[in-house]
């Protein structure tokens, strides 16, 4: 018990130190804290639903304890929601030809966790907490489970959108994109180079479909390795992703510590062990490569990731009288 308490104290101390050093990160790393706030607030539900944080955390942590793959899924769900029409929970809608049906989203998961949280919040505070805020809070809490302390603050006050179209998912960065394409995708959403490198660190957990990896391994029936891929690591990828691979086959994005949210992703990149072409692309630009080197330091990574997550969570949000508060996250309110 004594060792556990000491470990928790060290994590907490490291986190607060990370916040303190955040403003001195490479480049414009502090930009996430300086962006104008689009009507969101900390403790937005303090009066209308005072237990929202404990309810979301309780449901999320219980489910993550039973399924350690959920942090990667919920983080990806939040990312894929915000990059398409902004953070409005449009990815949750089940209508025909919705965002869920688009190729990039077919492997997105975690919806059942959002449903469970929504059910509990509707019992406690009917019609008060948006599904968009649930997605943002659940992503944070899922990632934070291993630390038993929140890794970043989440601004709330988002409202839910009513439009979800598969045709809008072209805004999502491609796993095959080169550096310029990635930077443009992020720039289109108001995010900069620092945000690109920091948010790519989400790939320290989660999985990728083999279809996103095999073009780096094979060409037709022959082996044809991407020169930006370490040959020994490529063999590991090939063992998980044969040619051809089953449509359901996946590979860990972080081959070193796939279930631990840490900075090993950046160490992997320096060894040419990023699973996706879009991961390797970060080493092909001098400024990005320097940030990769800096973020191998876990304290700097946690600080940079936290700031960029808050910045991403502000993308084209609906606040005030815009949008609605969905009673069920999978369907638009009919009345």
CATH number at residue 260: 1.10.420.10
Helices within the chain (DSSP H only): 2-21, 31-34, 52-66, 70-82, 111-124, 131-144, 179-188, 193-200, 231-240, 264-270, 277-280, 286-294, 298-312
Residue 215 lies in a domain: yes
Same domain flag for 220 and 143: no
pLDDT at 204: 98
Q: What are the counts of helices (DSSP H) followed by strands (DSSP E) for the chain?
A: 13, 4
223 three-class SS: strand
Whole domain around residue 231: which residue ranges? 191-312
- What value does the mean pLDDT of the chain take? 91
Q: Does the annotation list 203 as a binding residue?
A: yes
Show Cβ contacts of residue 100 under 8 Å, excluding neighbours closer than 6 positions.
Answer: 91, 92, 93, 94, 106, 108, 164, 166
Same domain flag for 287 and 329: no
Residues 186-221 pLDDT 10s: 999 999 999 999 999 999 999 999 999 999 999 999
Q: Does the annotation list 173 as a binding residue?
A: yes
- Closest to 139 measured CA to CA, from 161, 111, 162: 111
pLDDT at 37: 63
Same domain flag for 288 and 327: no
Query: Which pLDDT band, with edges at 50, 70 and 90, does 321 fall under?
Result: very high
Same domain flag for 48 and 166: yes
Query: Which pLDDT band, with edges at 50, 70 and 90, does 307 fall under?
Result: very high
Same domain flag for 294 and 261: yes
Q: Annotated catalytic sites, by residue?
A: 80
Which residues in 14-31 are b (16+ Cβ under 10 Å) and which e?
ebeebbeebeebbbebeb
Same domain flag for 157 and 275: no
Same domain flag for 68 and 134: yes
User: How many domains are contained in the chain?
Assistant: 2
Residue 37 lies in a domain: no
Residues 125-184 pLDDT 10s: 999 999 999 999 999 999 999 999 999 999 999 999 999 999 999 999 999 999 999 999
Residue 241 lies in a domain: yes
Same domain flag for 94 and 165: yes
The token pair that represents 265 in the structure block: 């992703």
Residue 16 lies in a domain: no
Q: Does the annotation list 81 as a binding residue?
A: yes
Residue 27 lies in a domain: no
Same domain flag for 145 and 219: no
Q: How far is CA 222 from the centre of its chain?
A: 34
Is residue 288 over pLDDT 70? yes
pLDDT at 246: 95
Q: Does the annotation list 115 as a binding residue?
A: no
Same domain flag for 141 and 129: yes
Same domain flag for 238 and 167: no
User: DSSP secondary-structure letter at 211?
Assistant: G
Residue 31 lies in a domain: no
């Amino acid at each position: 018990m004594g060792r556990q308490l000491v470990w928790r104290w060290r994590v907490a101390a490291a986190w607060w130190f990370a916040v303190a050093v955040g403003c001195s990160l490479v480049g414009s790393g502090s930009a996430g804290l300086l962006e104008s706030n689009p009507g969101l607030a900390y403790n937005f539900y303090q009066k209308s639903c005072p237990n929202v944080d404990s309810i979301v955390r309780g449901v999320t942590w219980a489910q993550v304890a039973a399924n350690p793959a959920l942090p990667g899924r919920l983080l990806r769900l939040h990312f894929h929601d915000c990059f398409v029409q902004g953070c409005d929970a449009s990815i949750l809608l089940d209508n025909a030809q919705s965002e869920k049906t688009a190729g990039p989203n077919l492997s997105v998961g975690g919806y059942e966790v959002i449903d469970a949280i929504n059910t509990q919040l509707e019992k406690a505070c009917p019609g008060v907490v948006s599904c968009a805020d649930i997605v943002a809070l659940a992503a944070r809490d899922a990632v934070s489970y291993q630390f038993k302390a929140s890794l970043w603050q989440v601004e709330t006050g988002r409202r839910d959108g009513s439009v979800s179209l598969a045709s809008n998912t072209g805004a999502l960065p491609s796993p095959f994109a080169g550096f310029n394409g990635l930077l443009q995708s992020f720039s289109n959403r108001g995010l900069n180079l620092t945000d690109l490198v920091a948010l790519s660190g989400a790939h320290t957990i989660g999985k990728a479909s083999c279809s996103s990896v095999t073009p780096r391994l094979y060409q037709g029936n022959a082996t044809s390795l991407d020169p930006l891929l370490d040959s020994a690591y490529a063999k590991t990828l090939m063992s998980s992703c044969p040619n051809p691979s089953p449509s359901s086959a996946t590979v860990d994005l972080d081959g070193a510590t796939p279930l631990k949210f840490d900075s090993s992703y950046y160490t992997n990149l320096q060894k040419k062990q990023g699973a996706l072409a879009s991961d390797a692309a970060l080493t092909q630009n001098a400024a990005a490569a320097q940030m990769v080197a800096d973020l191998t330091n876990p304290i700097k990574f946690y600080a940079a990731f936290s700031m960029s997550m808050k910045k991403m969570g502000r993308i084209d949000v609906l606040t005030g009288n815009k949008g609605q508060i969905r009673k069920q996250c999978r369907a638009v309110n009919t009345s």
